[in-house]
């Protein structure tokens, strides 16, 4: 889930803009800046679309040559990795421009328009400050890579590494443009003064910071991160600010090392699957495959009490994780099901509550991007995670179905349409190509036939063929925008992984991981206490940080502790992901809940009461999964 990173509408809507600002808005420099901004973003969008398209072609060619022609292209993964890093950094630029970097707005949104304008301006200034800090170390890091040759292509690794300083420079430029375009002069002056005072105070206190020892962890990784997140600064920039501040002021670590850790986090080969699955999800929606699945499931159980609610849960289970975005999953389902459910008299608050909790329930359904991420940062087998994730999600789905049965057991079915066997058969035949895709993807990875990256390219090719020749619904004109959207979402995901990886490394170097391990292994009750505490911690983290940053930040720290406590690491991964899913979709802080409301066009207040029952069912299911490890590991 992503929330708006820099929601400048509050700034634009502020009623206290000065006459000077109004005059400046109509001035020549402001118009010139707007034209330059549009040209720059158009250029970056074209580059992103081209990079992702070429990456898909290269990886698909690698699959064809490896499995069909038995002549592997040894350079395909290496070239795809280079393209991927460039696409990720340029996608992060677009995410900053669009306001799609993950951020928390629960507190900022409650401010008055004038105060929110000031806080949003401060968020932009802090983001710019971070990018200015990153730029020179990123250049030094890329320049140092010039002497390194890639194994297969035998070219300088600087061709790949310079994506970092170029991306940082473009983000810095975009941030400055946005500040000039939408910031009020008074707010900019106050924000700059605040940052200057804080920087001066830190510089004054810098000589004393190394003597504080572990207290610096509270100052930077609790204080700085919390202030940044709750002020609406994008989570990735909050992480990076804390990391750069801690290492530069309290240690002798060269700042290029931090950029190197970011590069390491963003360049993991497993992450190549992220933009491909995001694009595949968009393909499924565009070709009509998602609608075909929903219509078939509705024909099976739509005539029973609560039938369409069961269809919603089942469809979320089938399509979940393929798009890489829960918003995309929900957006493919809600417009198809909700009108008919409302026609039958369903309460809109109950609908959005069920949609939200169904999103939490399916967090472990492969090919979940969170599963792929946790595998990349912990070294766990993706195949094992895919196998382990299916049954726990099914257990939670059954818990939700029980609540649906309780609530809809007296539903009026007089308006429900019942289909005969022949009609159901026709719908099954129409939906079969769409129904087969999720099972083919999951089966190929679980059985070790192909990697997650390879199977995503196969899925894209399959969707193209099905859209062209089966459903005959393929909008070529939408492809460029789909490529850009996939690159933007992927850029936001990958950049936060890089920042969180650097922060996790800094925490490890500080000795925090050893202290945390000692604390959690000393808890009475052994593995049971460890699991119970982990559930609580990750529910809270899921509501504040969302799944991917929390996973990347705490995964390397807690998984060795889980192993020492006697908890199966695959089982622990499933418990952690489900816990974060519950937090992510739980009001009042979980941004997933508000995303479900936005997709459904339903007021968030309407779902507050109905969601309690569904969340209680999820909590019981989570406890069952956590303390019955066989549910996760029985088929490994």
7's CB contacts (< 8 A; 6+ apart) are 99, 105, 120, 232
Is residue 493 domain-resident? yes
Note whether 384 and 511 are same-domain residues. yes
| Final residue in a domain of this structure, among 208, 231, 252 | 208
* 215: pLDDT strictly greater than 70: yes
Task: Tell me how far apart the alpha carbons of residues 176 and 162 are, in angstroms, rounded to a whole number.
Answer: 21
Note whether 435 and 513 are same-domain residues. yes
Is residue 494 domain-resident? yes
Note whether 204 and 276 are same-domain residues. no
What's the pLDDT at 328? 63
Is residue 220 domain-resident? no
| pLDDT, tens only, 114-165 | 888 888 888 889 899 889 989 999 999 999 999 999 888 889 999 999 999 9
Task: Tell me how far apart the alpha carbons of residues 252 and 229 are, in angstroms, rounded to a whole number.
Answer: 27
What's the pLDDT at 598? 66
Residue 149, strand partner residues? 156
57 pLDDT tier (thresholds 50, 70, 90): very high
* 24: pLDDT strictly greater than 60: no
What's the pLDDT at 546? 59
Residue from 233, 138, 250, 239 nearest 195 by CA: 233
C-beta separation of 445 from 390 below 8 A = no
pTM higher than the cut 0.85: no
CA angle, corner 543, sides to 540 and 546, nearest 5? 110
Domain coverage including residue 520: 268-636
Task: Tell me how far apart the alpha carbons of residues 624 and 620 are, in angstroms, rounded to a whole number.
Answer: 6
Percent of the chain whose pLDDT exceeds 90 = 22
Residue from 20, 482, 81, 539 nearest 278 by CA: 482
What's the pLDDT at 10? 37
Residue 156, strand partner residues? 149
Q: What is the 3-state secondary structure (H, E, C) of 568-632?
A: CHHHHHHHHHHHHHHHHCCCCCCHHHHHHHHHHCCCHHHHCCHHHHHHHHHHHHHHHHHHCCHHH
- Whether the upstream peptide bond of residue 367 has omega within 30° of 0, thus cis, is yes
Note whether 289 and 388 are same-domain residues. yes
Q: 3-class DSSP state for residue 156?
A: strand
What's the pLDDT at 578? 92
Note whether 564 and 633 are same-domain residues. yes
Note whether 140 and 59 are same-domain residues. yes
What's the pLDDT at 635? 85
Is residue 232 domain-resident? no
Note whether 176 and 301 are same-domain residues. no
| Per-position DSSP letters for 44-62, written without gaps between them | HHHHHHHHHHHHHHHHHHH
Decide which of 396 and 340 is more confident.
396
Read off the pLDDT of each residue in 488-501 and give the average, rounded to a whole number.
84
What's the pLDDT at 113? 83
Note whether 455 and 347 are same-domain residues. yes
Task: Tell me how far apart the alpha carbons of residues 279 and 269 are, in angstroms, rounded to a whole number.
Answer: 18
Instruction: Please count the residues of the chain.
Output: 636
| Final residue in a domain of this structure, among 160, 191, 208 | 208
What sign does the CA torsion over 361, 366, 370, 374 have?
Answer: positive
Q: Pick the range with the lowest mean pLDDT from 14-23, 230-239, 265-274, 433-442.
A: 14-23
What's the pLDDT at 517? 65
Task: Tell me how far apart the alpha carbons of residues 238 and 220 are, in angstroms, rounded to a whole number.
Answer: 10
Is residue 554 domain-resident? yes
What's the number of CA atoms in the CB half-sphere (13 Å) around residue 275?
A: 37
* 360: pLDDT strictly greater than 90: no
| pLDDT, tens only, 277-290 | 778 878 887 888 87
Q: Is 193 exposed, middle or buried (0-12, 13-18, 19+ CB in 10 A)?
A: exposed
Q: Is 573 exposed, middle or buried (0-12, 13-18, 19+ CB in 10 A)?
A: buried
Is residue 260 domain-resident? no
What's the pLDDT at 2? 41
Is residue 237 domain-resident? no
DSSP code at position 149? B
* 13: pLDDT strictly greater than 50: no
502 pLDDT tier (thresholds 50, 70, 90): confident
Decide which of 518 and 189 is more confident.
189
| pLDDT, tens only, 481-492 | 999 998 998 888
Read off the pLDDT of each residue in 402-410 and give the average, rounded to a whole number.
87
Note whether 372 and 477 are same-domain residues. yes
At residue 450, what are phi and psi to the nearest 5 degrees? -150, 160
Note whether 201 and 276 are same-domain residues. no
| pLDDT, tens only, 152-163 | 888 999 999 999
* 553: pLDDT strictly greater than 80: no
Note whether 145 and 276 are same-domain residues. no
Q: 3-class DSSP state for residue 232?
A: coil
Task: Tell me how far apart the alpha carbons of residues 357 and 313 are, in angstroms, rounded to a whole number.
Answer: 9
How many domains are there within the chain?
2
359 pLDDT tier (thresholds 50, 70, 90): confident
* 444: pLDDT strictly greater than 80: no
89 pLDDT tier (thresholds 50, 70, 90): very high
Percent of the chain whose pLDDT exceeds 70 = 89
Is residue 521 domain-resident? yes
Note whether 195 and 295 are same-domain residues. no
For the ranges 81-95, 262-276, 408-422, 602-616, the maximum mean pLDDT occurs at 81-95
| Final residue in a domain of this structure, among 177, 193, 208 | 208
* 321: pLDDT strictly greater than 90: no
């Amino acid at each position: 889930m992503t929330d708006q990173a820099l929601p400048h509408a509050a700034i634009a809507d502020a009623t206290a803009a000065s006459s000077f600002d109004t005059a400046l808005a109509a001035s020549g420099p402001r118009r010139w800046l707007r034209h330059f901004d549009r040209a720059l973003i158009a250029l970056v969008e074209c580059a992103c679309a081209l990079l992702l398209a070429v990456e898909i072609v290269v990886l698909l060619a690698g699959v064809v040559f490896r499995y069909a022609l038995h002549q592997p292209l040894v350079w395909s993964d290496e070239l795809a990795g280079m393209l991927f890093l460039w696409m990720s950094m340029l996608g992060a630029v677009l995410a900053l421009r669009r306001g799609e970097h993950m951020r928390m707005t629960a507190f900022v949104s409650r401010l008055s328009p004038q105060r929110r304008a000031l806080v949003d301006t401060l968020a932009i200034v802090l983001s710019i400050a971070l990018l200015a800090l990153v730029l020179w170390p990123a250049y030094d890091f890329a320049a140092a890579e010039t002497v390194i040759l890639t194994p297969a292509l035998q070219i300088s690794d600087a061709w790949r590494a310079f994506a970092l300083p170029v991306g940082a420079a473009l983000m810095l430029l975009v941030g400055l443009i946005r500040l000039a375009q939408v910031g009020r002069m008074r707010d900019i002056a106050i924000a700059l003064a605040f940052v200057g005072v804080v920087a001066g105070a830190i510089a004054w206190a810098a000589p004393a910071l190394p003597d504080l020892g572990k207290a610096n962890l509270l100052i930077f990784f609790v204080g700085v991160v919390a202030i940044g997140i709750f002020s609406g600064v994008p989570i990735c920039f909050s992480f990076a600010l804390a990391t750069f501040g801690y290492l530069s002021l309290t240690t002798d670590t060269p700042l290029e090392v931090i950029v190197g850790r970011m590069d390491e986090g963003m360049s993991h080969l497993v992450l190549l699957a992220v933009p491909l699955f995001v694009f595949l999800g968009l393909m499924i929606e565009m070709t009509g495959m998602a609608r075909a699945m929903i219509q078939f499931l509705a024909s099976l159980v739509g005539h029973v009490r609560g039938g369409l609610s069961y269809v919603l849960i089942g469809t979320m289970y089938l399509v979940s994780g393929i798009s890489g975005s829960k918003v995309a999953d929900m957006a493919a389902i809600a417009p198809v099901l909700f009108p008919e459910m409302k026609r039958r008299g369903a309460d809109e608050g109950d609908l959005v509550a069920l949609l939200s909790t169904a999103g939490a329930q399916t967090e472990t359904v492969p090919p979940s991007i969170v599963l792929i991420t946790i595998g990349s940062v912990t070294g766990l087998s993706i195949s094992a995670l895919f196998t382990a994730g299916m049954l726990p999600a099914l257990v939670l789905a059954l818990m939700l179905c029980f609540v649906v049965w309780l609530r809809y057991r007296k539903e009026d079915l007089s308006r429900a349409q019942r289909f005969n066997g022949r009609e159901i058969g026709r719908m099954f035949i129409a939906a079969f190509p769409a129904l087969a895709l999720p099972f083919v993807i999951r089966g190929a990875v679980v059985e070790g036939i192909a990697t997650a990256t390879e199977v995503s390219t196969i899925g894209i090719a399959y969707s193209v063929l099905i859209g062209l020749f089966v459903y005959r619904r393929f909008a070529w004109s939408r492809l460029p925008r789909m490529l850009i959207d996939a690159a933007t979402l992927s850029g936001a995901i990958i950049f936060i992984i890089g920042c969180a990886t650097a922060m996790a490394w800094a925490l490890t170097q500080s000795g925090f991981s050893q202290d945390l391990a000692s604390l959690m292994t000393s808890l009475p009750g052994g593995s049971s206490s460890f699991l119970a505490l982990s559930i609580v911690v990750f529910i809270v983290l899921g509501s504040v940080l969302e799944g991917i940053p929390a996973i990347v930040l705490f995964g390397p720290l807690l998984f060795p502790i889980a192993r020492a406590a006697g908890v199966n690491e695959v089982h622990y991964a499933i418990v952690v992901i489900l816990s974060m899913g519950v937090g992510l979709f739980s009001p009042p802080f979980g941004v997933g809940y508000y995303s479900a409301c936005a997709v459904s066009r339903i007021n968030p207040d309407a779902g507050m009461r109905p969601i309690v029952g569904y969340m209680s069912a999820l909590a019981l299911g989570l406890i069952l999964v956590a303390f019955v490890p066989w549910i996760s590991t029985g088929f490994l």
